[in-house]
Structure 1
């Protein structure tokens, strides 16, 4: 049914909007007027894609993203190339683009929440450019302000004036997650009032430093601080000049090298660095968490070194929150390409007929793609939620308001779970989208291979997922050790508050015997509450048994991960994705078409997760009675029914989240669906498509083989 955009009753969550936003043809193009294979799907959609667009993101968010995209589309520096550029050229262009983006200043401090939307827009065009812009001109000065004193105000001003370029040097060749064992040292020398930095061996070289390979002039370096009495005061952060900004030559006493070509993100010049008795002024210690006084003694307000380091690393925790949105962004692009291609690509049909059906009409293709479409929407609402919570916390910090330790611990825990959950889900999503597009999906111009490679580091940086996710289970176990009721005060953000009723939740049983009840989002969230409670209690008891057997704390933690703590932490993150999605649905008008389709998407997302990941847990634990209903059959029946219901809405659902064609840049996923026209144009315009190989003689002359024998 064709639903023209009208002035129907606007849901409460959208009442602040006025009609002017809908006149923006860059944000709301007339997609229903486009001729092509996607038109029938758009006309059969059950909801208005433009209303949905403003549910997924606010008008301010879309305005911020389109300001970035429109600027890039109109600037010659951002025109796409049909050739794979050399590594050096990729870095040169990424650096130029980053400087231009920074200079445009797309948002003010008062609009700090739009930072993530600008980052989303930048990363969707070229993720390397985001790293080149975000690290030196955003994260670097933020850390200087957050951890430093007025002694380094001149450096912050130099960043604002684009006179210096910053980076972060934490990880070492031999150590990443285990920061306590890092080997780089900074020894205070009282006679010169300076710190002397040293790298004992190559294992201690700072590495994977984004921007260091070729361009950074200053680095925030994390090193073990030693005072003249020989005492080590743990890892501290220092701002270190590494290159002369006037000529970009490395200062004496430092060795800097480039790590070379990577699987992706080659616009970022990752480097390594070693120090040999390199001196920096005493004032360059970032002293908010600890300082060295005139007598050469280390002084700090923190009695517990772990809390001091926690504050230091809190300045970098926004990276995990940002990765949730960046990964989701890659998922949005991949599913847009795959859905539009599936709705355009035709294969087979009724016997004895020349009619061919779009491959989206086939159940197997629907199951390959539509659950991933539901995943993208779920992750979109989750990344919006965690972004709001994080930026609200940071804004309060900047305004001088003290944030409760409980809030800090919870945002650390949920981001330590959310980042792996988002990265892993999008990893699987992109791979399935690539395969669902067949041979054409393997072409580089399809962009799916690049999206896969660009998302890959999301599973590694800001904490390797399998290590990072332990922070979430550690948080849950620590609170559980104080009793279930402790979750009431330990979870101000609400991600674990439900666990205060852990005993009551664990006494529940599956009692939904009809497909409609089994697929209801509220009941699926209840099931996730039970899964988290069960896995927490199972892991907690496992830890107690290991402790009682006399194992060390290291062995207890090591031997309680697989099948226990890891599963718990993943379920905790997934449960919050479901909860954040459901919270957004409840904000909408009960009778709106948009709420109805979003409810179906959430049901599909949660039911498919339970069916594919947790059905064994539900049976082995007794949550599902042995003589009860066949729960997996209920879920699978419901899933198949939702595939049929959502098939005609799939194109409009991607229309509601897709970036413009200029950004998507895939002949398989353009908004008009004319795949073959765009593919022909791309292939014909690619250099060397019709040229003879320069080595053509080696193909046909026997003399070549003879000469080589």
Structure 2
């Protein structure tokens, strides 16, 4: 062995170290630009980084994902229709512009049905590429040519294939109409009706009043021709068969005028996403063909009899609303996209912006050198990575499940789990990124308040993620319901309901709840595997505590409705949030574990520890003591805080390259504070100087000098 080592050393001494073989894709300078060669304030941090940001980029997403992203981005950058403006355009101009961009991108067929069948998980990356440029375009395109035809394929039959084929050729454009003015989360309370008429073999749609109008329907305000409409189905015998889905023509495809019996309008300007024409619709004895019922979960024969393979109406409605899980999975990716842009802008700004310094020196330090700024930014950087890995994970498992469903496999158990996982994942991702963006906005000071900084727009755009596809505080209860109902069958039941593995650990709940904190050294407590143990215990403890509360309320004779209502605050909601936090951490943990030893793995491991410790410190320290996981007298908060403070100065040196690994190109960042060269003042000057009207006298200058509009008193 000694002679072999000596021989190898002789070869190295003579010929040098073997040349490292790099992936061929590294030659793509659009995807992997030579950032280290850029002169500017970020160069010093890039030179101090311990890892290769290009390798980390391929860990975050694979080659095909980045190639698809840059295919879209390069097309946009070279097409005048996608010219960037920092000014707020009139509402109708925003709608018009977004619509033209939708049809332009759809015409390019960057990612169609064939690509989806091969890599369904890339649908999220395609949407993310559009969102990072302009979420209005992605939302409109995804609804018109994604969610609309996919829902018909999933819930419909051969009778509606012609509508899908027309959609493939952009001969129609769709929307998804579920929510009503007076009912959103409570789908069963919706009042739009579809009554089968035997004589004409049609369904007659009616809206009893404005409160029952379908609303918040993307594309419905001005541009769609069809909608998936959920209505209460009535058969000729007067019996209601619950909520069912129908394909409903809204406007003439050539004139875009609404059909008689359809009253459709626009909801008007919103906080953000104003390129999306959200609308409302009411129906007045509006007839649609019998074939336009999406009949996979239930159908009506010519005699007016309702037929369904589902005996349980709740399961039938759950299947009918299954498309919403895909929407929630997609929102995780949307939130990730916003978070990446915000943390990129704020981190580069913090590394370039200089303020203060030692009293005996004229040198000013970049603000990222200050501990307070590091703690403001770096835990959020870690959180963005956690959201990024989780959104990729859940997008892949949802895509795989969809393909198996199309092949006829029974995915009922996996479907239940992904419903629960997306119901907690979507709120946690949206809330996490909400906090990321707000802190990034504040961390950029006054310049961050400028519209051209883009942080205000990102904040407003992400705000919608907290509400649509299920208001977060209500939606997250689906996760706790899943956990409580399974717990009622015993801990072992979790091994039977978790093919995706998100709750499989709970089958060992009896053993987990007996665990105690056993780490007195900071470096040991901060190990990812030990932090995962803490998250496991937190979930078990909160589940047991909530389950005991439910049993207590049952024993008091309360109704099922009251039990659910009275077990939310401090119990079920906390449980659902813990399940979400643990899921994000565990996906991140498994990603790190899958990597071979390398500098990239090391830096991700530190990010993982920072994310986990910070979530625990800010959310669950009290829980650890309350449940006796920690003995009184042991200050675990100080242990974890010490670990966090120890990681901050290390990751400070890595922060710029960590955002380089996930950042889109400057054309997409579109913020003078976040460009890759870090020359914030040059870019800020350019934007301000080039904005129309910057140096011009206002047209209304006379109202300042002469004030003729003030009516003089006759007294």
Question: Normalization by structure 2: what TM-score?
Answer: 0.96
Following the alignment from structure 1 to structure 2, what is the Cα–Cα distance between the partners of residues 265 and 421? 21
1:476 aligns with 2:489: no
Following the alignment from structure 2 to structure 1, what is the Cα–Cα distance between the partners of residues 85 and 381? 29
**Helix, strand or coil at the partner of 1:705:** coil
Aligned pairs (5 A) from 1:521-532: 521-532=528-539
For each residue in 1:266-291, what CA deviation from the matched residue of structure 2 results, as whole angstroms up to 9, or x when unmatched?
00000000011111111111111111
Deviation at residue 352 of structure 1 after TM alignment: 2.7
Deviation at residue 246 of structure 1 after TM alignment: 1.2
Deviation at residue 698 of structure 1 after TM alignment: 1.6
**Residue number in structure 2 paired with 1:600:** 606
Deviation at residue 402 of structure 1 after TM alignment: 2.5
Following the alignment from structure 1 to structure 2, what is the Cα–Cα distance between the partners of residues 408 and 242? 32
Aligned pairs (5 A) from 1:319-330: 319-330=327-338
Following the alignment from structure 2 to structure 1, what is the Cα–Cα distance between the partners of residues 124 and 189? 33
1:180 aligns with 2:188: yes
Matched residue count: 694
Following the alignment from structure 1 to structure 2, what is the Cα–Cα distance between the partners of residues 201 and 282? 24
**Residue number in structure 1 paired with 2:8:** none
Pick one of 629, 633, 650 that aligns with 1:645: 650
Following the alignment from structure 2 to structure 1, what is the Cα–Cα distance between the partners of residues 558 and 409? 43
Pick one of 506, 525, 532 that aligns with 1:518: 525
Deviation at residue 595 of structure 1 after TM alignment: 0.7
For each residue in 1:111-165, what CA deviation from the matched residue of structure 2 results, as whole angstroms up to 9, or x when unmatched?
3221111111000000010111110111101111111111111111111111111
C-alpha contact (below 8 Å) 1:83/1:687 kept by paired residues:
no
**Residue number in structure 1 paired with 2:101:** 97
For each residue in 1:178-208, what CA deviation from the matched residue of structure 2 results, as whole angstroms up to 9, or x when unmatched?
1111000000111111111000011000000
Following the alignment from structure 1 to structure 2, what is the Cα–Cα distance between the partners of residues 307 and 90? 41
1:262 aligns with 2:262: no
**Residue number in structure 2 paired with 1:15:** none
Q: CA RMSD in A?
A: 1.2
For each residue in 1:377-433, what CA deviation from the matched residue of structure 2 results, as whole angstroms up to 9, or x when unmatched?
111111111111100101111223222x22111000000000000000000110000
Which structure 1 residue ranges, 4+ long, deviate > 2 Å from structure 2? 6-10, 399-402, 700-709
C-alpha contact (below 8 Å) 2:144/2:173 kept by paired residues:
yes
C-alpha contact (below 8 Å) 1:416/1:471 kept by paired residues:
yes
Pick one of 170, 194, 199 that aligns with 1:191: 199
1:213 aligns with 2:227: no
Pick one of 49, 64, 74 that aligns with 2:53: 49
**Residue number in structure 2 paired with 1:705:** 710
Following the alignment from structure 1 to structure 2, what is the Cα–Cα distance between the partners of residues 315 and 601? 34
**Helix, strand or coil at the partner of 2:324:** coil
Following the alignment from structure 1 to structure 2, what is the Cα–Cα distance between the partners of residues 702 and 80? 37
**Residue number in structure 1 paired with 2:383:** 375
**Residue number in structure 2 paired with 1:671:** 676
C-alpha contact (below 8 Å) 2:389/2:587 kept by paired residues:
yes
Following the alignment from structure 2 to structure 1, what is the Cα–Cα distance between the partners of residues 104 and 461? 22
Pick one of 681, 685, 688 that aligns with 1:683: 688
1:81 aligns with 2:69: no
Following the alignment from structure 1 to structure 2, what is the Cα–Cα distance between the partners of residues 511 and 317? 39
For each residue in 1:315-359, what CA deviation from the matched residue of structure 2 results, as whole angstroms up to 9, or x when unmatched?
231110010011011000000000000000000001032100000
Deviation at residue 457 of structure 1 after TM alignment: 0.4
C-alpha contact (below 8 Å) 1:73/1:662 kept by paired residues:
yes
Following the alignment from structure 1 to structure 2, what is the Cα–Cα distance between the partners of residues 586 and 127? 33
Deviation at residue 699 of structure 1 after TM alignment: 1.5
> Cα–Cα, structure 1 residues 377 and 202, in superposed 2: closer, same or farther, change >3 Å?
same
Following the alignment from structure 2 to structure 1, what is the Cα–Cα distance between the partners of residues 493 and 520? 34
**Helix, strand or coil at the partner of 1:250:** coil
C-alpha contact (below 8 Å) 2:124/2:330 kept by paired residues:
yes
Pick one of 540, 551, 554 that aligns with 1:544: 551
**Residue number in structure 1 paired with 2:453:** 446
C-alpha contact (below 8 Å) 1:82/1:687 kept by paired residues:
no
**Residue number in structure 1 paired with 2:626:** 620
For each residue in 1:205-256, what CA deviation from the matched residue of structure 2 results, as whole angstroms up to 9, or x when unmatched?
0000000000111111000000000000000010011101110001111111
> Cα–Cα, structure 1 residues 9 and 538, in superposed 2: closer, same or farther, change >3 Å?
farther
**Residue number in structure 1 paired with 2:27:** 23
C-alpha contact (below 8 Å) 2:346/2:443 kept by paired residues:
yes
1:165 aligns with 2:170: no
Pick one of 62, 68, 84 that aligns with 2:66: 62
Pick one of 605, 614, 617 that aligns with 1:611: 617
- Provide structure 2 residue ranges, at least 5 long, that are not aligned to the other structure: 1-16
Following the alignment from structure 1 to structure 2, what is the Cα–Cα distance between the partners of residues 219 and 126? 23
Following the alignment from structure 1 to structure 2, what is the Cα–Cα distance between the partners of residues 708 and 51? 75
C-alpha contact (below 8 Å) 2:145/2:168 kept by paired residues:
yes
C-alpha contact (below 8 Å) 2:120/2:396 kept by paired residues:
no
Following the alignment from structure 1 to structure 2, what is the Cα–Cα distance between the partners of residues 160 and 480? 45
**Residue number in structure 2 paired with 1:564:** 571
**Helix, strand or coil at the partner of 2:203:** strand
Deviation at residue 486 of structure 1 after TM alignment: 0.6
Pick one of 487, 494, 497 that aligns with 1:490: 497
**Helix, strand or coil at the partner of 1:272:** strand
C-alpha contact (below 8 Å) 1:219/1:241 kept by paired residues:
yes
Pick one of 697, 705, 712 that aligns with 1:692: 697
> Cα–Cα, structure 1 residues 448 and 708, in superposed 2: closer, same or farther, change >3 Å?
farther
**Residue number in structure 2 paired with 1:505:** 512
Aligned pairs (5 A) from 1:146-165: 146-165=154-173
C-alpha contact (below 8 Å) 1:366/1:643 kept by paired residues:
yes
Following the alignment from structure 1 to structure 2, what is the Cα–Cα distance between the partners of residues 659 and 378? 18
Aligned pairs (5 A) from 1:241-260: 241-260=249-268
**Residue number in structure 1 paired with 2:132:** 124
Deviation at residue 708 of structure 1 after TM alignment: 8.6
- Provide structure 1 residue ranges, at least 5 long, that are not aligned to the other structure: 1-5, 11-17
Following the alignment from structure 2 to structure 1, what is the Cα–Cα distance between the partners of residues 676 and 419? 39
Following the alignment from structure 1 to structure 2, what is the Cα–Cα distance between the partners of residues 611 and 516? 16
**Helix, strand or coil at the partner of 2:429:** helix
1:224 aligns with 2:232: yes
Following the alignment from structure 1 to structure 2, what is the Cα–Cα distance between the partners of residues 586 and 428? 28
Following the alignment from structure 1 to structure 2, what is the Cα–Cα distance between the partners of residues 51 and 240? 49
**Residue number in structure 1 paired with 2:474:** 467
Question: Normalization by structure 1: what TM-score?
Answer: 0.97
**Helix, strand or coil at the partner of 1:316:** helix
Deviation at residue 7 of structure 1 after TM alignment: 8.0
